[in-house]
């Protein structure tokens, strides 16, 4: 399974929007160089308030461009990086990947998927109703979170728009993604 990086984004401050960049550098065990969420322990303010010593399972946020297309069809114009993601992808069903999947990005970088992004009400600050638009329910009534996935950096490297993404499935029985 292969995909492509369509955009990369980084912000040194805790804002919802991350400006697009020509490249980002992933640092092993830390996240995106220069990003407010970089670190071994949690950096998301709500998680820091609960327990600042928790490991940071949200070092890198990825969103599939197909979600942005879907939102556009619903009347929401959302550019890459606008929902706080570091890497926007195309061609891979990120939400269907199991926990522990490794994404090889560009020449060297490897990100291991830890779980789903749990969308927050701040999305409605972009446009009212956006948070509801990234939530859905399956036929059994279970909540589907569509606002991307989170991961940790296993191997450092630069990532740029146009870079190939190669998917490496974990061994054993697949473990469905849960919010992290």
Span 108-156, pLDDT tens digits:
999 999 999 999 899 999 999 999 999 999 999 999 999 999 999 999 9
Which range, of 46-50, 89-93, 144-148, averages the lowest pLDDT? 46-50
Rounded average pLDDT over 9-18: 94
Scanning the chain, the segments in alpha helix (DSSP H) are: 45-50, 65-73, 130-133
Tell me the C-alpha to C-alpha distance, in Å, between residue 153 and each of 75, 102, 108, 127, 156: 34, 10, 11, 31, 7
CA distance 59 to 122: 19
Domains and CATH numbers, the chain: 2-119+147-168 (2.40.33.20)
CA distances from 135 to 25, 86, 129, 131, 163 (A): 30, 20, 10, 7, 29
Mean of per-residue pLDDT scores for the chain: 96
SS3 content of the chain, % helix, strand, coil (to 5): 15, 35, 50
Looking only at Cα atoms, what is the longest distance across the chain?
Answer: 42
Q: How far apart are CA 104 and CA 168, in angstroms?
A: 8
Q: What pLDDT, on the 0 to 100 scale, is given for residue 47?
A: 84
């Amino acid at each position: 399974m292969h995909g492509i990086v369509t955009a990369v984004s980084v912000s040194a401050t805790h804002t919802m929007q991350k400006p697009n960049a020509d490249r980002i550098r992933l640092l092993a065990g830390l996240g995106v160089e220069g990003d407010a969420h970089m670190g071994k322990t949690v950096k998301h303010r709500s998680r820091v308030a609960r327990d600042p010593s928790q490991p940071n399972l949200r070092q890198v946020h990825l969103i599939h461009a197909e979600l942005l297309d879907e939102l556009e069809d619903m009347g929401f114009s959302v550019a890459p990086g606008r929902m706080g993601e570091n890497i926007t992808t195309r061609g891979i069903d990120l939400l269907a990947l199991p926990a522990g999947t490794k994404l090889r990005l560009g020449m060297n970088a490897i990100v291991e998927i830890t779980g789903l992004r749990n969308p927050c009400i701040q999305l409605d600050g972009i446009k009212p109703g956006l948070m509801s638009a990234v939530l859905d329910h399956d036929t059994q009534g279970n909540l589907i979170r569509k606002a991307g996935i989170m991961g940790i950096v296993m191997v450092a490297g630069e990532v740029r728009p146009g870079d190939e993404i190669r998917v490496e499935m974990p061994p054993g029985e697949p473990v469905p993604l849960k919010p992290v």
